[in-house]
Amino acid sequence: MQKKKGRLAAGEGYPYVPGLVSIIIPVHDRKKLVNCLRAIEAQTYPMIETVLVEFRGLPAEKRNVGFMASEGEYVYFLDEDEYISPTVVEECVRKAEQGYDIVAVPVTKSVPNEYVARCIAIIRESTYKTMFFRRRVLERIGMFDPEYRLCDDVEIRLRALSAGYKVSAIETGSLVHDERVTLSDTLRKTLISRRGFRKLRQAYGRETYRRVVRAGFHRRRIFRELLASPAHILGVALILVMRFIARRIP
Structural domains of the chain ordered from first start: 2-247 (3.90.550.10)
Q: At 117, phi and psi to the nearest 5? A: -60, -35
Within a 10 A sphere around the Cβ of 34, how many other Cβ atoms?
Answer: 11
Q: What is the structure's pLDDT at 5? A: 54
Q: What is the structure's pLDDT at 15? A: 74
Taking only the tens place, the pLDDT of each residue in 60-119 is: 999 999 999 999 999 999 999 999 999 999 999 999 999 999 999 998 877 777 898 888
Mean pLDDT confidence for 38-45: 96
Mean pLDDT confidence for 121-137: 88
Mean pLDDT confidence for 176-185: 82
Taking only the tens place, the pLDDT of each residue in 79-88 is: 999 999 999 9
132 touches 92 (CB < 8 A): yes
Sequence-separated (6 or more) residues with CB below 8 Å from residue 162: 204, 208
pLDDT of 179 higher than 90: no
CA Rg value for the chain: 18
Q: What is the structure's pLDDT at 218? A: 82
Q: What is the structure's pLDDT at 160? A: 92
pLDDT of 6 higher than 60: no
21 touches 45 (CB < 8 A): yes
pLDDT of 7 higher than 50: no
Average pLDDT for the chain: 88
More confident site: 212 or 55: 55
Mean pLDDT confidence for 171-183: 85
Query: Residue 167 — very low, low, confident or very high, per pLDDT cuts 50/70/90?
Result: very high
CA distances from 73 to 37, 69, 146 (A): 20, 13, 24
Percent of the chain with pLDDT over 70: 94
pLDDT of 208 higher than 90: no
